[in-house]
Structure 1
Amino acid sequence: MGPRGIWLLAALLLLGVCALAGAQKPDACRCSRREPQNRVNCGFPGISSDECFSRGCCFDSSVVGVPWCFNPLPKQELEECVMEVSARKDCGYPGISPEECESRKCCFSDTIRQVPWCFFPISTEDCHY
């Protein structure tokens, strides 16, 4: 391998280390509240939990027949607001403002149409790895 190949290899190794350092284990609620049937694969067969977490993904091998390394739920400002869309219980009315929703001590997210944007938070006691 010539000098050019060594520089290329060094650059690739550096990029890999930087990518690993930037990824972090998702919050427990973002993983444990993902329904098994809604998991989107984030790994490969035989991936370890450490490898999965280093990709910023969730790992749960307790359910057979679904991906064990999977994408977490979207991050929310408060962990109490992290949940599947199907778990949202309406706390407002169509067109409610984020401020009005917050004054009701509820969560607000308007990124998905046809679902409650203002919804009740849920306890984080069930969040675990």
Structure 2
Amino acid sequence: MRPQDAPLLAVVLILGLCTLAGAEKPSPCQCSRMSPEHRKNCGFPGITSEQCFELGCCFSSSVVGVPWCFHPLPKQETQECVMEVSARKNCGYPGISAEECASRECCFSNAIWQVPWCFFPQSVEDCHY
């Protein structure tokens, strides 16, 4: 390594450490409610659960033939609202507002077209690592 490469190496190392420090462990619902067949790989062969969580990803080795370190479901306002879109049970009507949905004590997310935006929450008792 040439002496003039040292500052560049230092910047790369600092950015890498900042990225790792910024990642937070996903919630249990973000991980356990992800169907194994929908998992998207987030790690590498032989990754440990600790390394996976440091990347902000989920880890479960309970199912063979699918990624064990995988990207979590998106965060929601409450854990009861974290679920795959296929698990949503409609709690409203097309075009419902977030306010009307909340008045029904349901979850609201309009990020994906053609799925229920207002949907019933689920108990978090099934959420675990």
- 1:66 alignment partner in structure 2: 66
State how far apart, in whole Å, the 1-side matches of 2:35 and 2:26 are.
16
List per-residue Cα deviations over 1:104-129 (Å, max 9, x = no partner).
Answer: 00000111111111000000111111
State how far apart, in whole Å, the 1-side matches of 2:106 and 2:28 are.
20
Query: Runs of 4+ in structure 1 displaced over 3 angstroms?
Result: none
State how far apart, in whole Å, the 2-side matches of 1:110 and 1:20 are.
30
Secondary structure at the counterpart of residue 125 of structure 1: helix
* Consecutive unaligned residues in structure 1, runs of 5 or more: none
- 2:31 alignment partner in structure 1: 31
TM-score (norm 2): 0.96
- 1:57 alignment partner in structure 2: 57
- 1:95 alignment partner in structure 2: 95
Query: Deviation of residue 89 (structure 1)?
Result: 0.6
Secondary structure at the counterpart of residue 126 of structure 2: coil
- 2:83 alignment partner in structure 1: 83
State how far apart, in whole Å, the 2-side matches of 1:111 and 1:6 are.
44
Aligned-residue RMSD, C-alpha: 0.9
* Identity value in percent: 71
Q: Is 1:6 aligned with 2:10?
A: no
**Count of aligned pairs:** 129
* Consecutive unaligned residues in structure 2, runs of 5 or more: none
TM-score (norm 1): 0.96
Query: Deviation of residue 2 (structure 1)?
Result: 3.1
Choose 59-68 or 44-53, whichever is displaced more. Answer: 44-53
State how far apart, in whole Å, the 2-side matches of 1:128 and 1:58 are.
11
